[in-house]
Chain A
Amino acid sequence: MHDDDLVFKALADPTRRFLLDQLFTRDGRTLTELESELEMTRFGVMKHLRVLEDAGLVVTQRSGREKLHFLNPVPIRLIHDRWIDKFTERRVSALTDLKRQLEDQSA
């Protein structure tokens, strides 16, 4: 089963977070496209994608001869649902908004 441990483990690596950010910006990319964004061997990128797939954060779909990688936001949403209940959500988002505003100003 897709336990939260797999999700946290997958997220605990900057390369994997970078790959998710790439898919967030534009979904449905091939390995070759993702590889071109990283200073890493094809094998290394494949290994990272595999960890993301095992955690359910990336889902692949075949399109003709290509294998496309899609960001699956569901596991993060489930963690969110479990730990941030709807009564605290407003306060949490107010704080994250504040953080973003203050950091944008200082940038």
Chain B
Amino acid sequence: MTSTAMLDTSSATSNTTQVYRIFIKATPQAIWDAITKPEWTQRFGYGLRDEYELRPGGKYRGHANQGMIEMGMGGVIVDGEVIEADPPHKLVMTWRMAIDPTLAAEGFTRLTYEIVEGRGGVSRLSIIHDLAGRPGHAAMVAGDQQGPGANGGWLWILSDLKSLLESGAQMTPASRLQPHE
């Protein structure tokens, strides 16, 4: 039956571009802050302490959070460079899993965040992740390495971000999460 395959979307393995779109009851500024400010980035998804230089050519570093450091995984987990920063609507950047030598060797991917204000206090967040020629990254952000229905990838990160901004609570404490191997 086709619906079975369809519910298993987390295992999509597009090696080109992946697109995710979510509607969140929050202002574009609140979403922008959640994506770019370390006090917010530590509260959803993998809970990295993100550091951005929000200008073209500026550095991006996603640092290990306390839970990861305690497990012996410190330093920079994800790195990249800002290509375009137009707060609170558009962020274009390069993005690479720096902690994993195999993934790091694939090189940088191109990641775009787009935030559009809608009606009734609802904003639309789109993720356009260009992963051409980066199959390891593509599998990771699609949530492939986490098993069916389990946590991982953009789907889970966005779902968690929505929960955080709409209810102030996140689904899973970041400190309990294992980073991707």
A27 touches B22 (CB 8 A): no
Looking at chain B's contact residues, the main secondary structure is mixed
Could you say which interface size class chain B belongs to? 20 to 34
B149 touches A21 (CB 8 A): no
Q: How far is B149's CA from A71's CA once the two chains are assembled, in angstroms?
A: 17
> Size of chain A's interface in residues, with CB distance under 8 A?
33
A21 touches B7 (CB 8 A): no
A28 touches B17 (CB 8 A): yes
- With A27-B16, A70-B18, A77-B9 in contact, do A1 and B3 touch (Cβ < 8 Å)? no
Question: Which stretch, B40-48, B95-103, B120-128, touches the partner chain A?
Answer: B120-128
* Residue A2 at the chain B interface, CB threshold 8 Å: yes
A1-32 CB mask vs B (1 if < 8 Å, else 0) is 11000000001001001101100101110000
Q: How far is B22's CA from A77's CA once the two chains are assembled, in angstroms?
A: 10
The CB with the most chain A CB atoms within 10 A, among B6, B22, B162, is that of B6
B interface residues (Cβ-Cβ under 8 A, vs A): 2-7, 9-10, 12, 14, 16-23, 120, 122, 126, 128, 148-149, 155-156, 158-159, 162, 171
